[in-house]
Amino acid sequence: MYLLKTLALAGGAIAIAGVADAQTYRFGGGPSGGGWHPAVSAGTQLINKELKGKNYKFQYSPSNGSVDNVRRVGLGDFATAWGHVVQSYQSWYGVGLFKKDGINRDFRVVANVRSQTQIVAVLARSPIKSFSDMKGKVVNLLSKGSGSNVNCTNIFKGLGLLDQIKPRYLGFAASGRALGDRQIDVFCSAGAPFKIPALTELSLRKPVRYISMTAAEQKKLTSAYKFYAPTTIPVQKDVKGMTEPARSFAYPVFWYAHKQMSDDAIYNMVKIAATPANLKKLASTAGYWKTLSGDFEALKAHKMWVHPAAARYWKERGVNVPAELIKGF
């Protein structure tokens, strides 16, 4: 479980140092090469640094991504973590990848992290110009257990191409290397919101190009999967080789907390991270934090709830948190 007890060595013997005063909450992150790994690590460090006189602290824990995070927060293995709205909805209602898990509502939303987009890219010199050109090609769908894998799979399934490609399941960093070495033909992953470190870094050595959906493909996917909203990724100057915008879809990433976290821990965790001065510090090193907010409007349609302690903080900031979304356990 995420609630750990701190042991102290005293005079050669092991003594419990204020057991009730030594809680450690695990903060789930993400895989190497993705945007969540450095962002959550930096956030955990800042939160611990700013905690004053509290009887708890936070510990960063790497993970496989959104599916892993949502499942482990629901089970209490992580105290808190980020996750895509798709996985949290599936856990909340016991459907999709969480059908075997069953309904789990032992978590609440505490903040809106940001909107993400889905990136599909190839080397700039690749003959692949469209999704139909990917038939028979090696396409990396990201590691199973990640939210990106779910979204990448949805793209190719939704476009009727899943059984016509050669899927691979490499992580972010490995996928970037594989594209550069031509071991895969197509790179697919989440964008934060429009880039991912592994791909951006590769483009400095080997230019890459984003593949744009046609208007019809974009409409087909956003109609089939109600969590997705149509969007267009603008040209990213940092991504060498990208010279044209690309149609894609967007979806929100939320911050969750397990029910066994104390109200005080949730309130201070969110307050420290979301304080404007601290957000500026975090955003300078980990861009994922730039858009952290108390915007929970998207939850109305899904009937998922916001933790009262988090709502209290956002209200203090002048945010209108819908009363019907605030509910404890």
pLDDT tens sequence across 13-30: 322 233 345 699 999 998
> Are 15 and 70 members of one domain?
yes
Distance CA 28, CA 253 (A): 14
| CB 209, CB 124: distance < 8 Å | yes
**Length of the chain measured in residues:** 329
Number of folded domains that form the chain: 2
The stretch 99-106 carries a mean pLDDT of 97
Q: Is residue 7 predicted with pLDDT exceeding 80?
A: no
Integer-rounded Cα Rg, in Å, for the chain is: 21
155, 274, 307 from 158: Cα distances, Å: 5, 37, 34
Task: Give ∠ CA 34-201-255 in degrees, rounded to 5.
Answer: 20
The number of beta carbons lying within 10 Å of the beta carbon of residue 57 is 16
Q: Is residue 2 part of a domain?
A: no
Half-sphere exposure of 206 (CA within 13 A, CB side): 16
CATH at residue 192: 3.40.190.10
Place of tokens 């791909």: 199
Q: What is the pLDDT of residue 312?
A: 98
Last residue of a domain, one of 251, 266, 287: 251
39, 240, 287 from 261: Cα distances, Å: 21, 44, 27
Find all residues with CB under 8 Å of 72, minimum gap 6, and list them.
28, 63, 78, 81
> Are 132 and 199 members of one domain?
yes
> Are 124 and 241 members of one domain?
yes
> Are 309 and 242 members of one domain?
no
Find all residues with CB under 8 Å of 293, minimum gap 6, and list them.
111, 112, 319
The stretch 250-257 carries a mean pLDDT of 94
Confidence band for 148, pLDDT divided at 50, 70 and 90 = confident
Per-position DSSP letters for 244-281, written without gaps between them = S-EEEEEEEEEEEEETTS-HHHHHHHHHHHHSHHHHHH
> Are 183 and 87 members of one domain?
no
> Are 110 and 151 members of one domain?
no
> Are 215 and 108 members of one domain?
no
The predicted model scores a pTM of 0.76
| CB 293, CB 252: distance < 8 Å | no
Place of tokens 């010199």: 125
Last residue of a domain, one of 193, 216, 251: 251
> Are 124 and 242 members of one domain?
yes
Give the three-class secondary structure for 56. strand
Confidence band for 1, pLDDT divided at 50, 70 and 90 = low
> Are 233 and 272 members of one domain?
no
| CB 3, CB 24: distance < 8 Å | yes
Q: Is residue 1 part of a domain?
A: no
Domain encompassing residue 101: 7-114+253-325
Percent above pLDDT 90 for the chain: 76
> Are 172 and 64 members of one domain?
no
Work out the burial of residue 206: count CB atoms within 10 Å of its CB; fewer than 13 is exposed, 13-18 middle, 19 or more buried. Answer: middle
Q: Is residue 206 part of a domain?
A: yes
Instruction: Specify the amino acid at residue 296.
Output: F
> Are 51 and 138 members of one domain?
no
Report the sign of the C-alpha dihedral through residues 321, 60, 40, 67, in that order: negative
Distance CA 171, CA 179 (A): 12
Distance CA 289, CA 281 (A): 9
> Are 93 and 164 members of one domain?
no
Last residue of a domain, one of 224, 251, 278: 251
pLDDT tens sequence across 23-82: 999 999 988 777 889 999 999 999 999 998 899 999 999 998 899 999 999 999 999 999
| Helix residue ranges, H only, the chain | 36-50, 66-75, 85-93, 147-158, 172-180, 197-205, 215-224, 263-274, 276-285, 299-302, 308-316
pLDDT tens sequence across 318-327: 999 999 999 9
